[in-house]
Structure 1
Amino acid sequence: MILDATISGMNIQLLHEEQAKKKAAEKPLVQAWHKSDGAFLARLALVQDKPQSTDMKLLMDLARQFLQVMSEDIHLREKKRHMVILREERAAQIGEQLDDGIHSRFLYPGHLQSLFQDFSQAIQMHANRSKSRSLLQLLRDRNLTTIRNQIYFFLADNPEDEDYPFVFVALVPVTEGGRIVWKNLKTWMNQARNQDTQHFTLYPLHQLMADSEFLRRLVGTRLIHHPLRITEEEAFDFVSQVESFQNAGIV
């Protein structure tokens, strides 16, 4: 199992740095990162329970970081079966972010890149065999990570305004410098030059407009490009249509 660790339920004990050095004398450390490790991380990424140990939390955080990488430009894989590659710079960022000073050797970019390939294959196979039948739908169904270049609808209270007690906003998450940045639709459209990306992201809106007066008005007037104060009646219309929004691909 991963890193020659012992696992019991949601608890895991990883090798510490000094132990790893001794182990490496008998067996190259890189050999510990094999396909079973990628499959283990893929299963761990789908677990909803909170980890009970520090080591398990480290691995779960790593699995979720890998999912975030896979969620970037996911439309390319959905349409063209594009293979995702964890670039060295991104691997280094992940390693630095998760480095606890104890398991540094396990977080070297080369090790993470090798592990990521096995992880991505395992998670894709799981998605294909699940009820979701695609990685994109699996991420939507499980709400496992923020999906890049997808429209997210948010509804918030606006208690200081009696006439418009709610605020509605449509945002799109993108990756900048390895971090998630949220953009309103107008800003995102000005920056997203790839036509495939624009079509993939905006398609659910156009699909929903035929059956949603709420969206038809917001899209037609371009009010959807910015945060918008709305009435109680409009908020009720929004909430009553949440299921149809989700079925169309809005998160």
Structure 2
Amino acid sequence: MTENDLRAFLRSRRARISPEAAGLPRPPGVRRVPGLRREEVARLAGVSADYSVQLERGRNPHASPAVLDAVARALQLDPAERDHLYALAKPGRPQPRTAPEPVRPGLLHLMDNISGIPALILDHRLDVLAMNRLARTFYPGFGEVPAGEWNMARFMFLNPAARELYVEWPETARENVGMLHLYAGRHPQDARLADILEDLTADPDFSRLWAEQDVYRPAYGAKRYRHPHAGELTLGFETFTPSGAPEQTLGLYPVERGSPSETALRTL
């Protein structure tokens, strides 16, 4: 990650907000830029126009939390976007990793004991560190890939089966890119993550979504699937951060009891 990443993110957030939406009167004449100008963001944040320019260019390494919070409010950032702004503006000392973070034995035992629903553990690169038996069966082609090469983003964009599996593939693909953006901001020197991103640029959909600069933090919800063997079904998803493993995410995919989806899942 470089100062260009901060510039691209702030420009993308400015472009999506009109002066009217920000509570500013729209000036007369033709506007040459979409959304807010830098000086308008500065006015809303209570900083000088020059300060706003320097921040966007990545030339203000000492931006205070108060200033970053003011900019976040001016740009109407959600909590994930605010955290991303902090990571890009104040990167600190990144700790690159060369190998996936191991899953502790207790979590692996937990995965072995979860049956009836898919369950998996991801790291910040969307590497799949562990899957239960049903998850390996549920995702087409995962069982044929060596365990150290499982990656949800590579599956999403580089495996044609993913576009058939997810009924709302564009939305899920956008979420995957948003997670990678969020994590890349926190790990700017992660060589393995950089390799994954380079591989993904082979897909034009990934490149287009990456350029939009959106970020996403998973929480909970539901997704519809069209499985090649189980047919159409709907699974919920719940995400948790295991204690002592802040860069890992445990994902569980529950199904409504007695539903057709539960019946379909049993066929796997």
TM-score above 0.5: no
TM-score range, shorter chain: under 0.3
TM-score normalized by the length of structure 1 = 0.27
TM-score normalized by the length of structure 2 = 0.25
Q: Which structure is higher in helix share? A: 1
